[in-house]
Amino acid sequence: MILQLPDTLEVLYFYNCMSKEQHSYFKLYKPYKYLSQFITNDTKAKRKRFLGELYPFPEGTMAVGRLDETSEGLLFLTTNGKFSYHITNTGVEKEYYAQVDGLITVEAILKLQKGVSIGVKGKDYITKPCQAKIIEMPNLPPTNQRIRDDRHGPTSWVSITITEGKFRQIRKMTAAVGFPTLRLVRVRIGSETIESMQPGDVVGIKHTMDNI
């Protein structure tokens, strides 16, 4: 179900005193099977779902970083390219909850914390040290994604917090330690969390680059 901004919600703006430009900032709970982009001439023909279906965002709105099509959770959108660069290139923390195949071990967690080898653009890459821990099943909204049930083996949950963002990094990391990701939800970027948001929810936010 796609949820719209309430009529009474005031979309907040951050006024950039240096450039005298007024920019828009949003946080979105990206649903499963949506692309982290807007429709272009190259993508109209594809049978895909796009961010513009969720809310009439202002012209020039862009996604800050990406969540792959099968991942869910917190995504920033803005009309400010400088803000986008700040979030994606200055070591801002991103926390994910990953449901993995099997009961993840302490040994696997330690490997994740230290850094593991993954493939990036056809080359081996060692991920930076990160925060990782086993967690109980989190209280997340239901998903349209079909997750196999325990009759086919147990699953477990892990929280992973990284400061980089390589393509499908979390999925590659858990696979590298022997526990492929079945469901992936980003729950936090810096100090902003998904809180009680539901898939498709859009909220206007007001932030400077210093307090994300």
Q: Would you name the residues annotated as active-site residues?
A: 68
Largest CA distance in the chain: 59
The Cβ-side half-sphere exposure at 9, using a 13 Å CA radius, reads 14
Distance CA(165)–CA(120), nearest Å, equals 11
159: β partners: 97, 133
Nearest 5 degrees, angle CA 209-CA 210-CA 212? 70
Distance CA(180)–CA(183), nearest Å, equals 9
